[in-house]
């Protein structure tokens, strides 16, 4: 079952039976299937993750089946849930995967149980599935490396979880679920709300014409003075295209991004056709908290030009 992205918390009546709010950790969606003599750790696209995460696989094999658990696979590093470290771990196999498991162990943060020894639970309401999941932890069936996803029915707590400070710890936002909802595979019946914060950056290149850019490629300087890519904006509104087009100037042949290639999106092999511009215009943008080594994973939203900020005086990023 999937979630539909929304910009803000929905009304209490948006989903059946009232609302529950769960933290959304920054990780890989994974479903663990445990049978009497089998175990399968499935990614969202159906791949087997067990070979890359042997510690989760071993813990899964030790569970009593039948059991089907839905959750988010995460790796902690430097005091937060770290998506980059999770990606690196997902590429390891064999002895390399075992070494990575010892150095950066993974956890499976569980938010749903779809089947137990008593039978399938997909048609049961969320409140009953959640109670069954909590009981599995309470009676000791589930423990580390499995963890129970924090959940609440208190809207004020959910709003607190949307504070960008949670993003710094690797919590992307919240998922909203109806207390009376069954589990419907493939349907976007839940609601996802991402935590967002604002930041400033230099416009270093654009897609589309410089006089009316379609999107902005944003940068900050590191300690060596190098322009480091940090984000790409979502498509600009007409008013923003006109406003920025009047301020931007084409970059010269010595622009550091001249000839540089950028991906059209996270996980995409398509390359952007971009036009470097003079790195003098500073803009404010809003982005979610999915940031990997200083780079925003998802498109950000342009807010305004910052005439009050000098490009050379922005805080530096680490090399």
The set of catalytic residues is 24
Other CB atoms within 10 Å distance of the CB of residue 13: 10
Give the H or E element holding residue 239: helix 238-245
**Coil, helix or strand for 318?**
coil
Instruction: Return the biggest CA–CA distance within the chain.
Output: 69
Q: What is the 3-state secondary structure (H, E, C) of 74-114?
A: EEEECCEECHHHHHHHHCCCHHHHHHHHHHCCEEEEEEEEE
Task: Please state, in angstroms and rounded to a whole number, the distance separating the CA atoms of residues 294 and 283.
Answer: 17
**H-helix segments, 104-225:** 126-138, 155-161, 164-168
Considering only CA atoms, which of 225, 199, 223 is closest in space to residue 295?
199
Please classify residue 222 by burial: count the beta carbons closer than 10 Å to its beta carbon, then call 0-12 exposed, 13-18 middle and 19+ buried: middle
Task: Please state, in angstroms and rounded to a whole number, the distance separating the CA atoms of residues 63 and 144.
Answer: 12
Are 231 and 215 contacting, i.e. CB atoms less than 8 angstroms apart?
no
Other CB atoms within 10 Å distance of the CB of residue 106: 24
Other CB atoms within 10 Å distance of the CB of residue 49: 21
Task: Please state, in angstroms and rounded to a whole number, the distance separating the CA atoms of residues 317 and 229.
Answer: 10
Considering only CA atoms, which of 235, 179, 228 is closest in space to residue 206?
235
Are 138 and 261 contacting, i.e. CB atoms less than 8 angstroms apart?
no
Task: Please state, in angstroms and rounded to a whole number, the distance separating the CA atoms of residues 103 and 161.
Answer: 29
């Amino acid at each position: 079952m999937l979630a539909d992205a929304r910009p803000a918390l929905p009304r209490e009546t948006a989903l059946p039976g009232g609302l529950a709010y769960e933290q959304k950790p920054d990780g890989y969606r994974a479903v663990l299937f445990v049978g009497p003599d089998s175990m399968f750790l499935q990614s969202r696209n159906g791949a087997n993750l067990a070979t890359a995460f042997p510690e989760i696989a071993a813990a899964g094999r030790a569970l009593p089946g039948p059991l089907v658990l839905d959750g988010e696979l995460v790796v902690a590093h430097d005091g937060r849930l770290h998506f980059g470290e999770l990606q690196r771990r997902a590429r390891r196999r064999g002895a390399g995967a075992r070494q990575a498991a010892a150095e950066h162990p993974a956890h499976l943060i569980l938010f749903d149980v779809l089947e137990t020894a008593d039978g399938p639970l997909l048609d049961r309401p969320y409140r009953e599935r959640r109670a069954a999941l909590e009981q599995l932890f309470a009676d000791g069936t589930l423990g580390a490396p499995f963890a129970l996803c924090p959940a609440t029915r208190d809207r004020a707590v959910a709003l607190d979880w949307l504070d960008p400070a949670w993003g710094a710890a690797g919590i992307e936002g919240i998922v909203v679920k109806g207390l009376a909802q069954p589990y419907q595979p493939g349907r976007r019946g839940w609601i996802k709300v991402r935590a967002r914060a604002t930041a400033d950056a230099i416009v270093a290149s654009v897609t589309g014409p410089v006089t009316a850019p379609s999107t902005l490629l944003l940068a900050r300087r590191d300690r060596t003075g190098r322009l480091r890519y940090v984000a790409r904006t979502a498509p600009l509104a007409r008013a923003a295209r006109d406003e920025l087009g009047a301020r931007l100037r084409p970059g010269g042949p010595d622009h550091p991004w001249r000839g540089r290639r950028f991906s059209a999106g996270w996980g995409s092999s398509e390359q952007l056709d971009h036009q470097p511009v003079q790195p003098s215009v500073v803009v404010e943008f809003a982005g979610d908290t999915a940031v990997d080594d200083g780079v925003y994973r998802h498109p950000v939203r342009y807010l305004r030009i910052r005439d009050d900020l000098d490009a050379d005086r922005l805080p530096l990023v680490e090399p």
